[in-house]
A and B are shown apart, each in its own frame.
Chain A
Amino acid sequence: MSRQRIPLVTELPLVIWLVLVWGALWQDFSPGNLVFGAIIAYAVVNFFYLPPVELTGRFNVLWVVPFLGRFLYRLVVASAEVFWLAVTRGPSLRSAVVAVQLRSRSDFLVTATGHAISLIPGSLVLEVDRSTSTLYLHCLHIRSDEDAEAIRRDVRATEVWLIRLMGSRTDLDALTAEEARR
């Protein structure tokens, strides 16, 4: 494996994350422990080489809380819904495989959207087409085309939230342009 040097700046989020993990696992956020953790994190990042994840370089802290709130709300609602379906409908349940075309071409953002969608019960990513950034989802309780359309709108809304949270500049500009047209 050819190993080119990665600039420290691209590694920095990973190192910070590892230091936080270290502190959390020891349940000790004292400076000494964190410094030791930073040394270990730096060594780990350099010895156990992974291709760098290309972040978009933008992160809007203001959107974190609303996004988490929406995510938790949908999580609770969808969980209750699936529970209800399991008890009342059971074997006669109809579902569908729906293709959803996303806006963003960024791998990172498509992965994040897929993760957020999979975590909410009732939808599950079966396949990803990377060239067109299309997600193929398996969704519970889809009886008609309107239901499928609702799912598509919902997934694209999730993507909008993620673009606002941490999408790249170009994605964000495309989004504002699209909203201005409407």
Chain B
Amino acid sequence: MVNDVIVSVLLVGGALMSLAAGIGLVRFPDLLSRMHAATKPQVLGLLLFLLALAVEFESWPLVPVLVLCWIFQLLTSPVSAHMVGRAGYRTRHLRRDLLTLDELDDVVARAAEGDPAGPDRTEATRREAGGGTA
């Protein structure tokens, strides 16, 4: 009985996280702010759903798989978020009028002047690739 209540709360909570992502996707003004909304069901929403699963089935052998599932998500979702965010910034998919502050702008401008390939960029890519497989 208590379990049922916990499972219900977790399920509805996880579903609300997805709903928040949906609302954020529709209402936020530009790509980069939408990305913040999108990471939520992937991290906290998944955690709540996995917890619901663990509580519902009450079996210990299940727990490592669920933890593993969450760890995979933790390792992979920042990689895709970083790649999409970086591509979005570089292809000017953001509303500059909505930025209070942009400390990357002049850095990028300087890198673009120096050499088009941009040493910082290849470095960043390699690092993120290494981080993803770590």
Contact = CB atoms under 8 A, between A and B. Distances in A.
A–B interface present (Cβ within 8 A):
yes
Interface of A: 20-21, 23-25, 27-29, 50-51, 53, 75-76, 79, 82-83, 86-87, 90-99, 107-108, 110-112, 114-115, 118-119, 121-131, 136, 138, 140, 142-145, 147-148
A96 B16 CA distance: 27
Interface residues of B, number: 53
Nearest to A55: B134
Given A79-B44, A83-B20, A97 B68 contact: no
B102 interface: yes
Contacts, number: 175
A53 B130 contact: yes
A28 B47 CA distance: 22
A79 B61 CA distance: 30
B116 to A, nearest CB: 16
B134 A95 contact: no
Nearest to A139: B36
Shortest 7 CB-CB contacts between residues of A and residues of B: A24-B64, A118-B78, A111-B131, A90-B27, A83-B20, A99-B103, A86-B24
Secondary structure at chain B's binding surface: helix, strand, loop or mixed?
A: helix
Contacts of A25: 65, 68
Contact of B99 (A28, A51, A96, A114): A96
A96 B17 contact: no
Contact of B101 (A20, A112, A142): A142
A95 B32 contact: yes
A71 to B, nearest CB: 10
B35 A124 contact: yes
B89 A126 contact: yes
